[in-house]
Amino acid sequence: MPEDTNTAGHIGRVAAVLNGVAGLGGVSPVNPQAVTIYQQTSRGERAYDIFSRLLEDRIIFLGFTIDDAVANYVIAQLLFLEAEDPDKDINIYINSPGGSVTAGLAIYDTMQYVRPDITTICIGQAASMAAVLTAAGAKGKRFSLPYSRFLLHQLMGGVQGQAADIDIQAREIVRIGEMIDEILVKHTNQSLDVIRHDSDRDFFMGAYEAKEYGLIDEVLVRNPALPRA
């Protein structure tokens, strides 16, 4: 989608149309047309789905339970934005209860793989795998709004079948759990023993506690890009 560089021609009318959706809870990342943005430009009116409009400003919104479909959606956006400009930061806003660890690790690996710095901003909550992704942003560029919360905990998984299969699955859960612990050690100020102790049970933190812990770098009350009144 070509960018309109004639900013003087923008009339500035932006309308959000909710197509029968009460709030944003029913919006799917694979069907973002549920929210449409209309923007008047010098070339006429343009219509975007909300996620494509955010993508123009290099913003990815992770506001869903993390599964394979969501991971593929986020990864595609990361790769696209890297191709567009490998030297310009990518911003990921996170409000997620977590989800699939393997899907989350696919996002994590891509965040580390792409060349642009990744800025992460927690708005609402970053639980479980979402907390790991928030911490995985570039150092000095990991943020949270004041009333967000964070959750660390052990991996959860149920297995069934023959004894040998259960043993294989149990060992795999342990292996992945150790990987997550090592990632958190890498991105926080904490030792492996502290990470293992804290994630043994549900461990909740507010934004300022998360800063002290090393999950984020700063708590933002206001978008620093916006002028103060």
| Catalytic center residues | 128, 153
Distance CA 69, CA 31 (A): 11
Distance CA 125, CA 131 (A): 8
Distance CA 78, CA 58 (A): 9
Residue 84 near residue 115, CB atoms below 8 Å: no
CA dihedral sign, ordered 192, 194, 200, 205 = negative
Q: How many CB atoms lie within 10 A of CB 78?
A: 20
The amino acid at residue 207 is A
Distance CA 169, CA 171 (A): 5
